[in-house]
């Protein structure tokens, strides 16, 4: 992944600061797996066994067609590499870890096999303003069960679940968890204990993402839909390359939706349902935005919202879906905006 001009190092760094990888490529926000130490004007790269593999200077390095710069801004440390011949830039962004101590043994004793939940403003994949989203997690010995519940007007509109293999990494009395995969592209989450509860800290955006979990009773997820994104990163957009859309077209889709759609009184405006199509052409990770004809926030009937979300969740015929798993991205964010006139669905776009 890295192109580095470095020197082999057997040295250790006193008073070193531990940084965890956040993402590469600022525009695409791709997670990657790496730890570094920063000490004065040196960077120490750790290998998969969490041992110092090599070190390099934070000073600018120029050699042949290669330029490397290090930028430290607060708790963020960025490594910028440029091919001076082609102008191609690759950027890696690390974040200083929090000092909160937690051992794997302590985590196992306090948090394993228990259900914890938090409210999140949106999923990583889809914009959202009108759903109240509850995220539940159950950490097991080598996996985690996650479920998302989408509420609107205090009604559970939809729910989905996934189970992922995970690794627990203990380093410098701090504990991290990430998806266990052969790919280098997964995200580290630092587990921060808060009494009988905990927080998950990650850097899936340009700012820290903090999920504050509290213990709750076990959730019955037997009737939840099963859905996972193929990559824990910002998805591509439906209009990248060729448009990804419903194979039978919007007019066919509109006719099918109109057949059994409940009405929403005499309401007028627009309902936008955001969702993510994964590399298997499955749909999930919903978001909801509503507005009136003056483009101001609005609320429509919960029965209509539930109908639309569940209808979209069943769609599995996507035109140009072979472009989704293209190497550039593995999931696609899409949306449908429904025009509502006198409580009835009259149009759909894009």
- Residue 326 confidence (pLDDT): 59
What distance in Å separates the CA atoms of residue 12 and residue 99, rounded to the nearest whole number? 20
User: Is 74 found in the same domain as 44?
Assistant: yes
Reduce the DSSP state of residue 271 to 3 states and report it: strand
Is the same domain home to 206 and 312?
no
Q: How many CB atoms lie within 10 A of CB 6?
A: 16
CATH number at 213 reads 2.40.128
- Residues 62-88 have pLDDT tens digits of 888 899 999 999 999 999 999 999 999
Q: What's the alpha-carbon Rg for the chain, to the nearest Å?
A: 23
Asked if omega into 350 is within 30° of 0 (cis), the reply is yes
Residues 49 and 135 in one domain: no
Domain count, the chain: 3
Q: What is the DSSP string of 248-297?
A: T-HHHHHHHHHHHPPP-TT--EEEEEEEEE-TTS-EEEEEEEEE-TTS-B
Evaluate whether residue 120 is within a structural domain.
yes
Q: Assess whether 201 and 111 both reside in one domain.
A: yes
For residue 325, name the pLDDT band (cuts at 50, 70, 90): low
Answer whether residue 4 is part of any domain: no
Cβ atoms of 144 and 162 closer than 8 Å: no
pTM of the model: 0.91
pLDDT of residue 3: 54
Query: Residue 6 falls within a domain, yes or no?
Result: no
For 217, list phi and psi in degrees, rounded to 5: -70, 160
pLDDT band at 221 (very low <50, low <70, confident <90, very high): very high
Q: Which of 78, 96, 114 is the last residue of a domain?
A: 96
Question: Given 41, 69, 96, which residue is the final one in a domain?
Answer: 96
Instruction: Judge if 67 and 113 occupy the same domain.
Output: no
Same domain, 222 and 108: yes
In a domain, 199, yes or no: yes
Per-residue CA distances from 306 to 92, 151, 262, 271 (Å):
41, 10, 10, 12
Q: Is the residue at 245 inside a domain? A: yes
**Cα separation of 340 and 264, whole Å?**
8
35 with 79, same domain: the answer is: yes
Q: How far is CA 35 from CA 20, 40, 43, 44, 304, in A?
A: 5, 17, 10, 9, 47
Give domain status of residue 8, yes or no: no
Verify that 244 and 199 share a domain, yes or no.
Answer: no
**33 and 92, same structural domain?**
yes
Distances (CA, A) of 65 to 68, 87, 90, 114: 10, 10, 14, 53
Residue 339 placed within a domain:
yes
Among 191, 226, 261, the domain boundary falls at 226
Residue 207 lies in a domain: yes
Residue with tokens 């750790």: 46
Q: Could you read off the pLDDT of 267-309 as tens digits, one per residue?
A: 999 999 999 999 899 999 999 999 999 999 999 999 999 999 9
For residue 1, pLDDT over 80 is answered with no
Joined together, the tokens standing for residue 244 give: 């990804």
**Degrees (nearest 5) of the Cα angle 227, 230, 235?**
105
CA 262, CA 157: separation in Å to the nearest integer?
14
Answer yes or no: do 53 and 89 share one domain: yes
Asked if residue 324 and residue 244 are part of one domain, the reply reads yes
Residue 106's pLDDT band (cuts 50, 70, 90): very high
Please name which of 22, 152, 137 lies closest in space to residue 76, comparing C-alpha atoms: 22
Q: Which domain holds residue 340?
A: 236-349
Q: Are residues 121 and 204 in the same domain?
A: yes
């Amino acid at each position: 992944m890295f192109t580095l001009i470095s020197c082999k190092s057997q040295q250790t760094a006193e008073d070193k600061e531990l940084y965890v990888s956040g993402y590469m490529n600022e525009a695409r926000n791709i997670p990657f797996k790496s730890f570094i130490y920063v000490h004065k004007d040196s960077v120490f790269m750790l290998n998969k066994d969490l041992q110092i593999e090599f070190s390099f200077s934070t000073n600018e390095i120029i050699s042949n067609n290669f330029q490397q710069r290090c930028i430290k801004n607060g708790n963020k440390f960025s490594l910028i590499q440029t091919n001076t011949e082609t102008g191609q830039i690759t950027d890696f962004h690390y974040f200083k870890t929090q000092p909160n101590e937690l051992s794997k043994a302590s985590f196992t004793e306090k948090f394993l096999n228990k259900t914890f939940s938090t409210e999140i403003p949106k999923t990583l994949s889809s914009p959202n303003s009108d759903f109240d989203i509850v995220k539940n997690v159950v950490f097991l010995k080598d996996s985690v069960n996650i479920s998302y519940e989408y509420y609107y007007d205090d009604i559970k509109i939809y729910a989905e679940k996934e189970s992922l293999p995970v690794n627990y990494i203990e380093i410098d009395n701090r504990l991290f968890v990430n998806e266990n995969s052969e790919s280098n592209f997964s995200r580290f989450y630092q587990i921060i204990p808060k009494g009988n509860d905990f927080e998950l800290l990650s850097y899936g955006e340009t700012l820290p993402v903090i999920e504050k979990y509290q213990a709750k009773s076990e959730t019955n997820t037997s009737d939840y839909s099963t859905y996972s994104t193929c990559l824990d990163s910002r998805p591509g957009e439906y209009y990248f390359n060729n448009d990804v859309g419903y194979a039978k077209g919007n007019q066919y889709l509109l006719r099918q939706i109109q057949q059994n759609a409940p009405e929403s009184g005499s309401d007028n405006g627009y309902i936008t349902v955001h969702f993510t199509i994964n590399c298997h052409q499955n749909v999930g990770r919903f978001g909801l935005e509503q507005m009136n004809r003056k483009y101001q926030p609005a609320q429509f009937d919960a029965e209509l919202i539930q109908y639309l979300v569940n209808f979209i969740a069943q769609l599995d015929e996507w035109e140009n879906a072979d472009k989704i798993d293209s190497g550039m991205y593995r999931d696609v964010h899409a949306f449908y905006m429904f025009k509502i006139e006198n409580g009835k669905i009259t149009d759909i776009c894009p």
